[in-house]
């Protein structure tokens, strides 16, 4: 079939006039209030990257307090009280409240303002429509609304640092009743206090995620190019599809919880407040009758699927890069697809494994322990398929591939160390220790963030028409990989030695005796190398930042398909114009037709028609064109 056949049967005669109008959009409509999925994707990307670094900076501050508790932070410590207020770091020494604020906001910002906007929204927006051969998202205005909702939410979160009392300080989980009474009373404003702003900001973030999720699913269902059947979708599109469903269905119950906690704080209701609470020696004047456990259920009903929201887009990116750089099809494409669907379904029925210590009962625990162990099966299938995909490949160690190959063992460590936490008897000991921190950071930091870096290096040429510098990419990669492991590997040991994750003094008072050491250092003394690794990793991001901005203007110019990839986004010009494709794309084959026997070159793009000889050899019937 002719590749240029129009998709739309009702062709609008005014289409050309309309397109002409688009080209004359003013600067504001083109780059700021844009409805183009690529611009919105890049806006999300910048927002996500900025907040990733900001969230990391909060942690770098906390690492000082953990390594050198009670000591004045040199140089920076003098300036911080001027920015965050005098109560945060008097004389450069961190107060407990400020430490708690940093911890709570580090988690919130990294998860909801860093990774979700970058992994799901930025890559999803930029790449998914291109990979499915669509001109844009299904609902461009909704798409713009979704970005501006997250923008407002992020501003509200930032403002909360500067209100009296500082930002939210009850952990990223905001457990009640602690969170419901935090930031109230003398010295706090009624609405403009940390915890209330955290809740209000969250409502905007949830709105954004819902709009985005609806848009992604509708786009993938409705706007796939002709011939791009479900089993010809790149794995990245499948991963985003499942992620969107997780956001769509898991976020609203948390929104319900957020609304109820907001009511508890501003209308004095008792959704989460039991009767008989005493605060600062005085009984709270509330009706009571609420349930703190209810909040935990609503929170984790989102927050467990959220874990998969964080990792699935990363897995999708890794799949694309592994196939491209090993020059061979992904191993077990169908198993990957069904595994990701299974993960999506199961992730909704494992949430209470975060609540083993709440005393919810052994029958409930047994159920959630079983489902939690079952969900490790599809995860292991995915990781195994990735490893096997490398087997016998002709691997190109490009910068994206370096990050992608590093992802595999890092995610493996993160995943396997989660299994002891899935057993409620083992978790009784490990709960809330640094072991848990190490476990989920191995998944999200050297896991997802490595996937994101890989994705940035990989799709940068599509967005700009230029490539990022290889040498500086490697200078970025190696120190980051080493520091990640120096940071998180000792935390497993600290956790197994019993160190609690929320200790303000880094465990100094608990492990100072020195009768229990790990490789010659006490649990507390391990904080020092960890902190130094964190700060060095901060420095290691400088080559990336410079490389990123320098390459936008000065990077080496490349053609439309510099990685010799097969999926549809590489058939569009770089950078793609408004409307994306010069001719309407049609897909004739699967997404990873690398090293196809009998063809010139080692890659065959999805829009290359199947030749008659090929059809006989592959024993397939006429290709399906829908």
Q: What is the largest CA-CA distance in the chain?
A: 85
- Residue 37 CB, shortest distance to another protein, in Å, is 10
Nearer to another protein, 29 or 297 (CB): 297
Instruction: Enter the tokens of residue 387.
Output: 């490893």
One-character DSSP codes across 497-562: TT-BTT-TTTTHHHHTT-SSEETTEETTTTHHHHHHHHHHHHHHHHHHHHHHHHHHHHSEE--S-T
CA distance linking residue 239 with residue 341, whole number of Å: 9
Are residues 395 and 402 in contact, defined by beta-carbon separation less than 8 angstroms? Answer: no
Crossing angle of helices 123-131 and 194-222, in 10° steps, is 0
CA distance linking residue 166 with residue 162, whole number of Å: 6
- Residue 608 CB, shortest distance to another protein, in Å, is 20
- Residue 276 CB, shortest distance to another protein, in Å, is 11
- Residue 579 CB, shortest distance to another protein, in Å, is 4
How remote is the C-alpha of 582 from its chain's centroid?
32
- Residue 35 CB, shortest distance to another protein, in Å, is 10
Number of Cα atoms under 13 Å in the Cβ half of residue 285: 2
- Residue 459 CB, shortest distance to another protein, in Å, is 20
Nearer to another protein, 11 or 619 (CB): 11
CA distance linking residue 359 with residue 293, whole number of Å: 10
For tokens 């409307």, the residue is 579
Nearer to another protein, 248 or 475 (CB): 248
DSSP, res 274: -
Residues lying near another protein in the complex (CB under 8 A) are found at: 7-10, 12, 15, 18-19, 134-136, 138-140, 142, 210, 213-215, 217-218, 221-223, 248-257, 259-260, 263, 267-271, 285-291, 294, 297-298, 301, 579-581, 584, 626
Nearer to another protein, 12 or 600 (CB): 12
CA-based torsion, 422, 426, 428, 434: positive or negative: negative
- Residue 42 CB, shortest distance to another protein, in Å, is 20
Rounded to 5 degrees, what are φ and ψ at 85? 105, 155
Are residues 598 and 614 in contact, defined by beta-carbon separation less than 8 angstroms? Answer: yes
- Residue 560 CB, shortest distance to another protein, in Å, is 17
- Residue 139 CB, shortest distance to another protein, in Å, is 6
- Residue 172 CB, shortest distance to another protein, in Å, is 19
Closest Cα to residue 493, out of 529, 463, 462?
Answer: 529
Nearer to another protein, 6 or 370 (CB): 6
Are residues 420 and 438 in contact, defined by beta-carbon separation less than 8 angstroms? Answer: no
Nearer to another protein, 142 or 395 (CB): 142
Nearer to another protein, 267 or 278 (CB): 267
Nearer to another protein, 15 or 546 (CB): 15
- Residue 587 CB, shortest distance to another protein, in Å, is 14
Instruction: Enter the tokens of residue 254.
Output: 């948390």
Nearer to another protein, 247 or 456 (CB): 247
Neighbour count for residue 24 (Cβ, 10 Å): 8
Rounded to 5 degrees, what are φ and ψ at 402? -60, -50
- Residue 187 CB, shortest distance to another protein, in Å, is 23
Nearer to another protein, 290 or 507 (CB): 290
**CB contact burial 60-95 (16+ within 10 A = b; e otherwise):** bbbbbbbbbbeeebeeebeebbeebbeebbeebbbe
Instruction: Enter the tokens of residue 532.
Output: 């130094």
- Residue 138 CB, shortest distance to another protein, in Å, is 4
Number of residues written out for the chain: 626
- How many angstroms separate the first and last alpha carbons of the chain? 12
Nearer to another protein, 143 or 170 (CB): 143
Nearer to another protein, 560 or 564 (CB): 560
Nearer to another protein, 135 or 591 (CB): 135
CA distance linking residue 322 with residue 563, whole number of Å: 12
Cα dihedral 389, 395, 400, 406 in deg (nearest 10): 60
């Amino acid at each position: 079939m002719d590749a240029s056949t129009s998709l739309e049967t009702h062709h609008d005669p005014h289409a050309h006039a309309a397109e002409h109008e688009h080209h004359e959009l003013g600067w504001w409509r083109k780059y700021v209030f844009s409805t183009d999925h690529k611009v919105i994707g890049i806006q999300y990307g910048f927002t996500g990257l900025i907040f990733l670094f900001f969230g990391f900076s909060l942690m770098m501050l906390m690492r000082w307090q953990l390594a050198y508790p009670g000591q004045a932070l040199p140089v920076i410590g003098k300036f911080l009280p001027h920015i965050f207020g005098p109560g945060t770091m008097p004389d450069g020494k961190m107060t407990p409240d400020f430490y708690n604020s940093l911890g709570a906001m580090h988690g919130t910002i990294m998860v909801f303002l860093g990774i979700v906007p970058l992994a799901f929204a930025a890559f999803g927006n930029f790449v998914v429509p291109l990979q499915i051969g669509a001109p844009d998202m299904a609902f461009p205005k909704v798409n713009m609304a979704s970005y501006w909702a997250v923008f407002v939410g992020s501003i509200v979160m930032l403002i909360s640092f500067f209100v009296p009392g500082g930002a939210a300080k009850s952990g990223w989980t905001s457990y009640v009743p602690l969170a419901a009474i935090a930031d109230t009373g003398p010295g706090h404003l009624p609405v403009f206090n940390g915890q209330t702003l955290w809740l209000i900001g969250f409502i905007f973030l949830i709105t954004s995620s819902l709009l985005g999720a609806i848009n992604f699913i509708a786009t993938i269902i409705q706007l796939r190019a002709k011939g791009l059947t479900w089993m010809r979708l790149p794995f990245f599109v499948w991963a985003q599809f499942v992620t969107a469903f997780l956001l769509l269905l898991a976020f609203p119950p948390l929104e319900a919880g957020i609304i109820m906690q907001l009511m508890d704080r501003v209308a004095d209701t008792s959704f989460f407040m039991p009767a008989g609470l005493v605060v600062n020696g005085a009984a709270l004047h509330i009706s009571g009758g609420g349930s703190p456990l209810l909040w935990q259920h609503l929170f984790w009903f989102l927050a467990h699927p959220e874990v998969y929201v964080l990792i699935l887009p990363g897995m999708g990116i890794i799949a694309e890069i592994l196939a491209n750089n090993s020059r061979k099809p992904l191993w077990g494409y169908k198993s990957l697809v069904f595994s990701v669907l299974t993960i999506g379904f199961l992730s909704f029925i494992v949430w209470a494994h975060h609540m083993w210590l709440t005393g919810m009962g052994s029958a409930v625990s047994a159920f959630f322990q079983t489902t939690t162990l079952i969900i490790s099966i599809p995860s292991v299938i995915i990781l195994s398929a990735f490893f096997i995909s490398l087997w016998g490949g002709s691997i190109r160690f490009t910068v994206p591939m370096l990050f992608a190959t590093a992802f595999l063992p890092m995610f493996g460590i993160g995943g396997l160390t989660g299994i002891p936490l899935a057993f409620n008897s083992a978790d009784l000991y490990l709960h809330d220790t640094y072991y848990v921190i190490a476990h989920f950071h191995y998944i999200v930091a050297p896991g997802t963030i490595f996937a994101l870096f890989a994705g940035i290096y990989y799709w940068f040429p599509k967005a700009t028409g230029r490539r990022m510098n290889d040498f500086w990419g490697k200078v970025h990669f190696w120190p980051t990989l080493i520091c990640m492991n120096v940071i998180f590997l000792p935390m497993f040991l600290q956790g197994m030695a019993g160190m609690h994750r929320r200790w303000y003094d880094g465990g100094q008072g608990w492990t100072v005796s020195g009768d229990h050491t790990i490789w010659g250092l006490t649990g507390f003394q391990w904080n020092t190398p960890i902190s130094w690794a964190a700060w060095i990793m901060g420095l290691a991001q400088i080559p990336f930042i410079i490389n990123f901005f320098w390459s936008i203007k000065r990077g080496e110019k490349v053609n439309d398909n510099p990685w010799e990839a097969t999926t549809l986004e590489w058939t569009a010009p770089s950078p793609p114009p408004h409307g994306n494709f010069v001719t309407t794309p049609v897909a004739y084959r699967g997404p990873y037709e690398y090293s196809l026997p009998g063809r010139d070159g080692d890659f065959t793009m999805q829009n290359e028609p199947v030749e008659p000889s090929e059809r006989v050899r592959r024993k397939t019937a006429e290709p399906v064109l829908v």
